[in-house]
Amino acid sequence: MNKIMSAYLITIAGVGLLAVGLYFIKTIEDLQGMAGALPYICVGLGCGIFGHGMGEIILRHAMNHHSEAAKQLEIDKNDERNLAIANRAKGKAYDMMVFLFGALLLALGLMGLDLTMLLLIVFVYVFIVMYCTYYRFKYDKEM
């Protein structure tokens, strides 16, 4: 399936998810717990998926009608300087995320969050740190 068709399908799925979420928000009144949050999660995911699909459709349309802009976009996307800047920004964001995520874990633990939720967040945090460590060793051996 080509990329433009998948973008249309993603957009339609986003609109459908948004519509289902709005329908459940308007019709069901007394849901408790996770079931009460599910329609709002559907609305949020629907909006995000719709935005992603529409962005892809608009980008493809612009690239088809403006070939010089498409060539410049391809050059900018593959430029070594832009790739180095993007990788450096990701590195800075990761460094900040590790400290903020650790502080958030400490705060949630002191607030008495449910143990299963806290352990789930801790496992995700440890997974991210181990993922970074794995690639650090892998790239260290390569270079």
How do residues 14-41 score in pLDDT, each as one tens digit? 999 999 999 988 888 777 777 778 888 9
Q: Report d(CA 55, CA 90) in Å as an integer.
A: 22
Domains of the chain, residue spans: 1-78, 79-143
DSSP annotation of 32 reads: -
**Radius of gyration for the chain, computed over Cα atoms and rounded to the nearest angstrom:** 21
Q: Say what the pLDDT of residue 15 is.
A: 95
- Report pLDDT for 1: 60
Interval 92-132: pLDDT, tens: 999 999 999 889 999 988 998 888 888 898 999 999 989 98
Q: Is the pLDDT of residue 71 over 90?
A: no
Indicate if the pLDDT at residue 48 is higher than 90.
yes
Percent of the chain clearing pLDDT 90 (strictly above)? 31
In the predicted model, is pLDDT for residue 49 greater than 90? Answer: yes
- Are the beta carbons of 99 and 109 closer than 8 angstroms? no
Secondary structure (DSSP) of 58-127:
HHHHHHHH-HHHHHHHHHHHH-HHHHHHHHHHHHHHHHHHHHHHHHHHHHHHHHT--HHHHHHHHHHHHH
